[in-house]
């Protein structure tokens, strides 16, 4: 039986309008010449997460400066992160019912996300779902796909008793599986290969034994 459910946040529990909000802010701060970089900012973040085990403003700004030539500063990262809290979000379909049912079953529910813990916590609170979660593990602690991130989020739970759920094949599926944990890909448009264990609707997670 699964006792501990470990959810990714962005693209899994909710979607934030990064494009019209934080990306727009970065463009205003960094100028028009930064447009190609800002257009791919999430690819740069993903590259950072694969390279470094945790987020710090200093390290992220240095990495972005070196990779792009755009003058990112720690202060800009801080303001960007504060703006993330203001993002308009949409909860994924079925999330609320699924969390409610898991709570009814007395399961441990936690979040493992790669962005800063405090702003992700505030976003969950803003959407009214923070009380469902026993803990929020963010990228300032450990970033996926580093093994320590999965170990920390599992918190000593036996591999067969916990399950990871997320929308990124490498970070939320391959990563936990390579540490011996069960994982399910949230793939609502059914775009990934059949060999991957996946769900199209969030409440399907309730059927996993």
Minimum distance from residue 185 beta carbon to Mg ion (Å): 10
Minimum distance from residue 28 beta carbon to Mg ion (Å): 26
Minimum distance from residue 33 beta carbon to Mg ion (Å): 29
Q: Please, which residue, 70 or 111, has the CB nearer to Mg ion?
A: 111
Q: Please, which residue, 72 or 115, has the CB nearer to Mg ion?
A: 115
3 state DSSP class of 195? coil
Residues contributing to the site for Mg ion (CB under 5 A):
8, 10-11, 167-168
Minimum distance from residue 183 beta carbon to Mg ion (Å): 13
Q: Please, which residue, 7 or 80, has the CB nearer to Mg ion?
A: 7
Q: Please, which residue, 34 or 81, has the CB nearer to Mg ion?
A: 81
Nearest to 177 by CA among 200, 156, 202, 147: 147
User: If you count DSSP H runs as helices and E runs as strands, how many of each does the chain have, helices first?
Assistant: 9, 8
Strand partners for 90: 15
Minimum distance from residue 12 beta carbon to Mg ion (Å): 5
**Residue in the shown chain whose Cβ atom is closest to Mg ion:** 11
For tokens 């990714």, the residue is 8
E strand or H helix at 45, and its extent?
helix 41-51
Q: Measure CA 15 to chain center.
A: 10
Minimum distance from residue 50 beta carbon to Mg ion (Å): 14
Nearest to 77 by CA among 112, 30, 43: 30
Nearest to 150 by CA among 51, 43, 53: 53
Strand locations in 73-208, DSSP E? 89-91, 108-112, 135-137, 162-166, 182-186, 198-199
Q: Please, which residue, 80 or 173, has the CB nearer to Mg ion?
A: 173
Q: Please, which residue, 8 or 57, has the CB nearer to Mg ion?
A: 8
Structure tokens at 92: 């994924």
Structure tokens at 20: 């019209």
């Amino acid at each position: 039986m699964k006792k501990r459910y470990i959810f990714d946040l962005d693209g899994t529990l909710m979607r934030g309008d990064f494009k019209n909000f934080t990306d727009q802010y970065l463009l205003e701060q960094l100028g028009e010449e930064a447009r190609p970089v800002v257009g791919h900012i999430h690819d740069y973040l993903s590259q950072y997460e694969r390279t470094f085990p945790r987020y710090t403003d200093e390290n992220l700004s240095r990495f972005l400066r070196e990779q792009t030539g755009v003058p990112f500063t720690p202060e800009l990262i801080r303001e960007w992160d504060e703006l993330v809290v203001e993002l308009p979000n949409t909860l994924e379909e079925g999330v609320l019912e699924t969390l409610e049912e898991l709570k009814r079953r007395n399961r441990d529910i936690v979040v493992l996300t790669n962005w800063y813990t405090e702003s992700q916590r505030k976003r969950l609170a803003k959407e009214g779902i923070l009380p469902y979660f026993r803990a929020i593990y963010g990228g300032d602690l450990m970033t996926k796909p580093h093994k320590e991130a999965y170990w920390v989020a599992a918190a000593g739970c036996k591999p067969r008793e916990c399950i990871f759920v997320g929308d990124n094949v490498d970070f939320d599926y391959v990563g936990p599986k390579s540490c011996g944990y069960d994982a399910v890909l949230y793939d609502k448009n059914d775009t990934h290969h059949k060999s991957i264990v996946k769900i199209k609707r969030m409440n399907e997670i309730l059927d996993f034994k």
